Amino acid sequence: MTITIRIAGFGGQGVMLMGQLLAATASNENLNSVWVPTYGPETRGGTANCLVTISDQPIYSPIFTKSDHFIALNEPSLVKYGPLVKDNGLMILNSSLMKDIKVPGSIRHVDVAANDLAATLHEPKVMNMVILGAYLEATKLFTNDEVMKTLEQFFGAKKEHLLKINEEALSLGRLQA
C-alpha cells in the first residue's frame, strides 16, 4: 500500500500542519512516510502546498506529479492541482471557499464546508482539522486517537489547551464524509 497525497491552500490555512500530521502519524503507526513542503513567495496568504507519501514499503522518492488523494482548501488550489489527481482518485474540497467545483467523473470527491463548520465551533482556525477529519473518514487511514496522539506530541504542554477543540473539529469533519 502506497498513498500519495497533495494538500494545497493559502498560507495560514494549516496546509503544512495537516501534511506533517499525516506523515508523523504514519510514522507513529510503523508506516513509512515522507512530507515535502512547498511555500509561495508569501507565507500567510500566499500559496502553500505539500506532498505526503505514506507506504508500508520503502519510499524511494518524495516527489510525485499525480496524486492518489488531494485536499484543496481553496478554489485556486483546485484549479491548479485538481488536474493532477489520478483517475479513480479522491478529492476533499473546502466548499466554503469554492464557487465553481468541477471534478472529472472518474474522481470521487467529498465537499466539506470546512470554514462554515469551524465557525460553528467558534474557532475558525480549526478549519484544517475539520477537512482533515473528512479525509480520514473517507479513507479510513487513521483513527482520531492516532492523529490526536501525534498532535499532542506536536503541541506539547505549551499548547495542550488546544487539543480539545482540534479533536472536536476532527470529529465534526468525519460526519461530513
Separation between Cα atoms, residue 95 and residue 115, nearest integer Å? 8
CATH code of residue 80: 3.40.920.10
Mean pLDDT per block of 10 residues along the chain (177 residues) reads 95 90 97 89 70 96 93 92 94 90 85 95 94 97 96 88 92 90
In this predicted structure, what is the pLDDT of residue 171?
Answer: 95
Reported residue count of the chain is: 177
In this predicted structure, what is the pLDDT of residue 43?
Answer: 54
- CB-based contacts of 104-112 (< 8 A; 24+ apart in sequence): 108/138, 110/134, 110/135, 110/138, 110/176, 110/177, 112/173, 112/176, 112/177
Whole-model pTM over 0.85: yes
User: Structural domain tally of the chain?
Assistant: 1
Domain boundaries, position 148: 2-174
In this predicted structure, what is the pLDDT of residue 41?
Answer: 61
In this predicted structure, what is the pLDDT of residue 46?
Answer: 66
